[in-house]
């Protein structure tokens, strides 16, 4: 490859990245604009527990891309990703009768206070359900609050 071919390849990659980022921003904006539903972890678990294992996978997929806002208890950071710039948060639902675990991928740049959260910190998360596996619910967080007056 000559210098002009490399230049063309670099320009194509740059255009692709810009286009991809614009699409991603538009998708996130559409998700943020959705109304929060009244779906709760208890409702999800009750429905999943009332059907067979095969049917539960289909029902679980019906909850994907639904916007929710839940009170949760922070447990720990369970996995670091992208050279420590991103982590997966492990939390549980604030309901003693529901045994759901909540997992969220979070960038430290977006929520730097995550680094200093103590176990059992109470949070409110607004996000999009991305996946449900058994009693584990995966969210794409749109907003994480420590309480109603302090936004992380």
At 125-145, the pLDDT tens digits run 999 999 999 889 999 999 999
pTM: 0.75
Phi, psi of 16 (to 5 degrees): -60, -45
Kindly indicate the confidence band of residue 10, based on its pLDDT and cuts at 50, 70 and 90.
Answer: low
| Torsion sign (Cα): 122, 126, 131, 132 | positive
pLDDT tens per residue across span 40-99: 999 999 999 999 988 898 999 999 999 999 999 999 988 787 777 888 889 998 887 888
pLDDT for 48: 92
pLDDT for 11: 64
Kindly indicate the confidence band of residue 150, based on its pLDDT and cuts at 50, 70 and 90.
Answer: very low
């Amino acid at each position: 490859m000559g210098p002009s071919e490399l230049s063309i390849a670099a320009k194509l990659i740059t255009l692709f990245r810009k286009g991809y980022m614009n699409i991603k921003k538009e998708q996130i904006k559409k998700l943020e604009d959705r109304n929060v539903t009244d779906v709760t972890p208890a409702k999800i678990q009750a429905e999943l527990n009332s059907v067979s294992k095969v049917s539960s996978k289909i029902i679980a997929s019906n909850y994907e891309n639904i916007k929710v806002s839940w009170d949760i208890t922070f447990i720990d950071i369970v996995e670091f990703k992208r050279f420590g710039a991103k982590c997966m948060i492990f939390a549980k639902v604030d309901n003693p009768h529901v045994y759901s675990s909540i997992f969220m991928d979070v960038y430290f740049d977006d929520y730097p206070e995550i680094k200093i959260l103590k176990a059992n910190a109470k949070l409110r998360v607004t996000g999009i359900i991305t996946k449900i596996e058994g009693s584990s619910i995966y969210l794409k967080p749109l907003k994480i609050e420590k309480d109603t007056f302090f936004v992380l």
